[in-house]
């Protein structure tokens, strides 16, 4: 029982070490990884290289794949580009297998304790906290590998007649290979860590519990099981993102199929490269772990070399398998970029939230177009229909603010840098002000509705004044959305300030003219009140728009 608990604890420690190490690397290189994925995928070969480099950097093919799915969801990568990146991710993940293999070849204790010490010092200093986190995770990883190796020796599975008899009952044939492939797929899908299952496989092989053929079958199953993570992340994403995850599955399934057809000669070829005699009675455990790592590398490299020429065909295949959802076009109120849940690093989760804020701004601009249409509508039935649509958009703005705020709150529970915390504060203010814009637009609609109910008849001068103010608010909205969707250094803060000054000047001008017109009996007090309520609410909307721009650019509040 103690040995079994040590085995399970070592596996848990291994998964934790990989998680901490991967997250620390992603925090250190988050923006650079986004830039790398977005700019270095011009062709299929650079896409493969990019996927491999990113996966080597973050030590997690699942993280790279989920990241890629989210980028397709955000329309930053095409499906063809994403497929090439995923192929590269499969090559990059082979490094993990070699790390596991190295962990079974020498005593980890000689390395772990100094690394632990350095990691703690770096974490405590604060300046190099993420590097310390990475070394801390690496220490746990190496320590877990050492514990696995020690536990495997203590288990002495090869000396246990019951275990030997059980595994000996599995003949070396295709039936056994299929069974172990299925086991590897199920276990990896459950644990969601191919690295952990690779370590277990190495323990079983090195202790003599299973043959190299059975171990390689488990590795093949792990390659299929690891695709579950991306497919789960893409379940509630858009069509292209789900197709990307499906392409990952097809890629690995194709590899497993051709290896199964050539299984025994291919495995013997890999063994000969390592210098492993599959017929020998005494086999060096180190060679067994190296053989598994070599097979894993050969599998992914050869599979990529074959399929890289068929990316257009893979794209067509996944498009045939996954048809577009009707709700992708019909459900305009559904979250577009944060439906798939949090990513593995706050940096990328925040990026998704910012894309959703851009959509929020676009929704508000569309709501304003309905408002302009309402202003010019004379027919009562059409007015009532438009008023109801605007009311629904106001409800939608409340829901969008709540959903994005909830998502950012979950991101904020992670261990964050000061820069990332500031980004979250900025985004929370952006969505609050965007929701206020929605409220303000609904207030304008209610003012127009009140005027209609009271049978207020506007003069030509008032109609032109309202259109003048609407044009300025529309210009401010366009500049706001340009600011939300662009890079901070590429947008002008002064452009928004100038528009707001013109809105204020227009409000002030109409305030004076309204008093004069009432005094001169051009129109009545009730008429002038409704008209100025409309002008004042438009000016208030301009303030909210300016607040969004300030929050996005991190600018200080200016005098209005």
Predicted local confidence at residue 329, as pLDDT: 41
User: Per-residue confidence at 281, pLDDT binned at 50, 70, 90?
Assistant: low
Contacts 24+ apart (CB under 8 A), 444-452: 444/371, 444/534, 444/537, 444/538, 444/541, 445/371, 445/374, 445/387, 445/390, 445/391, 447/530, 447/533, 447/534, 447/537, 448/374, 448/375, 448/534, 449/383, 449/387, 450/530, 451/530, 451/534, 452/380, 452/383
Report the chain's mean pLDDT, rounded to a whole number: 79
Provide the percentage of residues in the chain whose pLDDT is more than 70.
77
| pLDDT tens, residue by residue, 359-370 | 899 999 999 999
DSSP character for 414? S
Q: Look at residue 401 and tell me if it is in a domain.
A: yes
Is the per-residue pLDDT at 503 higher than 80?
yes
Give the per-residue pLDDT at 194.
72
The stretch 123-131 carries a mean pLDDT of 77
Judgement on whether residues 304 and 410 belong to the same structural domain of the protein? no
Per-residue pLDDT at 425 exceeds 70: yes
Do 297 and 351 have their domain in common?
no
How far is the CA of 182 from the CAs of 171, 187, 224, 225, in angstroms? 16, 9, 9, 9
Distances (CA, A) of 460 to 369, 450, 464, 524: 21, 19, 6, 15
What's the whole-number mean pLDDT along residues 82-102? 80
Q: So what's the pLDDT on residue 480? A: 93
pLDDT in tens, 299-337: 989 999 998 898 889 889 988 888 775 544 433 456 667
Regarding whether 538 and 433 lie in a shared domain, the answer is yes
pLDDT beyond 50 at 530 = yes
- Kindly state whether residues 303 and 353 are assigned to the same domain: no
pLDDT confidence bin for 283, thresholds 50/70/90: low
Task: Give the CATH number for residue 364.
Answer: 1.20.58.220
Average pLDDT over residues 372-390: 87
Residue 193 lies in a domain: yes
Position 89 confidence tier, pLDDT thresholds 50, 70, 90: confident
What confidence tier does 291 reach under pLDDT thresholds 50, 70, 90?
confident
User: Is 260 a member of any domain?
Assistant: yes
Asked if residue 336 belongs to a domain, the reply is: no
Cβ neighbours, 10 Å, residue 62: 25
366 and 308 share one domain: no
| Residue 545 pLDDT level (bands cut at 50, 70, 90) | very high
Rounded CA separation 21/355 (Å): 27
Q: 474 exposed, middle or buried (CB, 10 Å; 0-12, 13-18, 19+)?
A: middle
**237 shares a domain with 360:** no
pLDDT the model gives residue 233: 62
pTM, two decimals, is: 0.56
Do 276 and 401 have their domain in common?
A: no
In a domain, 411, yes or no: yes
- The percentage of residues in the chain with a pLDDT greater than 90, rounded to a whole number, is 16
In a domain, 217, yes or no: yes
pLDDT given for residue 76 in this prediction: 62
Number of structural domains found in the chain: 2
| 553 closest CA partner among 503, 469, 466, 480 | 480
Mean pLDDT confidence for 425-438? 93
Average the pLDDT over each of 185-194, 422-431, 485-494 and give the range with the smallest value: 185-194
DSSP E strands in 255-405: the ranges are: none
Q: What average pLDDT does the segment 250-262 reach?
A: 90
- Parent domain of 182: 2-321
Domain final residue pick, 271, 306, 321:
321
474 and 430 in one domain? yes
| Alpha-carbon span 202 to 286, nearest angstrom | 9
In this structure, the answer to whether residues 295 and 363 fall within a common structural domain is no
* Confidence class for position 75, pLDDT limits 50, 70, 90: low
CB distance 36 to 51 below 8 Å: no
Domain boundary among 265, 287, 321: 321
Query: Which of residues 321, 355, 385 is at a domain's end?
Result: 321
Three-state DSSP state, 310 = helix
Claim to verify: residue 20 and residue 155 sit in the same structural domain: yes
State in Å, rounded, how far the first CA of the chain is from the last one: 72
**pLDDT (0 to 100) of residue 427:** 92
Distance CA 451, CA 442 (A): 14
Question: Is residue 364 domain-shared with residue 240, that is, in the same domain?
Answer: no
Q: Does residue 326 form part of some domain?
A: no
pLDDT beyond 80 at 164: no
pLDDT of residue 508: 92
Q: Which residue has the tokens 């603010």?
A: 401
466 touches 516 (CB < 8 A)? no
Instruction: Give the per-residue pLDDT at 476.
Output: 93
Are residues 98 and 38 located together in one domain of the fold? yes
pLDDT tens sequence across 21-60:
666 766 665 555 555 555 555 677 877 887 787 776 665 6
Place of tokens 């590429």: 490
Choice among 6-20, 243-257, 470-484 with the minimum mean pLDDT: 6-20
Rg (CA), the chain: 31
- Residue 338 in any domain: the answer is no
What's the pLDDT at 22?
63
What pLDDT band is residue 501 in, cutting at 50, 70 and 90?
very high
């Amino acid at each position: 029982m103690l040995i079994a608990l040590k085995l399970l604890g070592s596996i848990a420690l291994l998964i934790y070490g990989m998680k901490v190490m991967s997250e620390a690397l992603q925090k250190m290189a988050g923006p650079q990884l986004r830039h790398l994925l977005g700019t270095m995928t011009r062709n299929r070969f650079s896409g493969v290289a990019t996927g491999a480099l990113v996966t080597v950097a973050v030590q997690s093919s699942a993280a790279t794949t989920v990241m890629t799915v989210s980028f397709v969801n955000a329309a930053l990568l095409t499906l063809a580009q994403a497929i090439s990146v995923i192929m590269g991710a499969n090559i990059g993940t082979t490094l993990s297998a070699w790390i596991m293999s190295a962990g079974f070849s020498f005593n980890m204790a000689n390395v772990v304790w100094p690394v632990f010490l350095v990691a703690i010092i770096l974490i405590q200093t604060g300046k190099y906290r993420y590097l310390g986190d990475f070394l801390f995770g690496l220490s746990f990883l190496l320590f877990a590998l050492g514990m696995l190796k020690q536990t495997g020796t203590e288990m002495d599975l090869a000396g246990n007649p019951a275990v030997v008899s059980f595994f000996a009952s599995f003949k070396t044939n295709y039936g056994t290979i299929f069974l172990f492939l299925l086991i590897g797929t199920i276990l990896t899908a459950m644990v969601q860590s191919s690295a952990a299952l690779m370590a277990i496989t190495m323990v079983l092989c090195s202790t003599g519990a299973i043959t190299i053929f059975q171990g390689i079958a488990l590795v093949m199953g792990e390659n299929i099981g690891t695709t579950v993570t991306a497919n789960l992340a893409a379940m509630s994403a858009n069509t292209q993102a789900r197709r990307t995850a499906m392409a990952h599955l097809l890629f690995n399934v194709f590899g497993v199929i051709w290896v199964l057809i050539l299984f025994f000669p291919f495995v013997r070829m890999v063994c000969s490269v390592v210098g492993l005699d599959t017929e020998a009675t005494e086999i060096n455990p180190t060679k067994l772990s190296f053989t598994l790592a070599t097979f894993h590398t050969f599998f992914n490299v050869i599979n990529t070399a074959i399929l890289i020429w068929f990316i257009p065909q893979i794209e067509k295949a996944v498009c045939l398998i996954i048809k577009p959802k009707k709700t992708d076009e019909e459900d305009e109120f559904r979250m577009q970029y944060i439906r798939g849940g949090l990513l593995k690093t706050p940096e990328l989760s925040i990026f998704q939230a910012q894309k959703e804020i851009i959509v929020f701004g676009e929704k508000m601009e569309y709501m304003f177009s309905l408002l302009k249409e309402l202003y010019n509508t004379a027919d009562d039935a059409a007015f009532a229909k438009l008023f109801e649509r605007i009311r629904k958009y106001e409800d939608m703005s409340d829901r969008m603010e709540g959903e994005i705020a909830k998502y950012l709150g979950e991101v904020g529970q992670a261990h964050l840098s000061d820069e990332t915390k500031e980004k979250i504060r900025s985004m929370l203010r952006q969505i609050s002000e965007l929701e206020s814009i929605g409220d303000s637009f609904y207030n304008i609609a209610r003012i127009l509705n009140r005027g209609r109910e009271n049978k207020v008849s506007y003069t030509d001068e008032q109609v032109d004044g309202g259109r003048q103010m609407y044009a300025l608010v529309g210009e401010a909205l366009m500049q706001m959305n340009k600011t939300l969707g662009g890079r901070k250094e590429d947008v002008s803060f002064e452009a928004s300030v100038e528009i707001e000054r013109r809105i204020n000047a227009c409000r002030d001008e109409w305030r004076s003219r309204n008093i004069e017109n009432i005094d001169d009996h051009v129109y009545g007090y009730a008429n002038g009140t409704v008209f100025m309520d409309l002008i004042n609410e438009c000016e208030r909307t301009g303030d909210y728009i300016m607040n969004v721009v300030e929050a996005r650019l991190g600018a200080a509040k200016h005098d209005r």
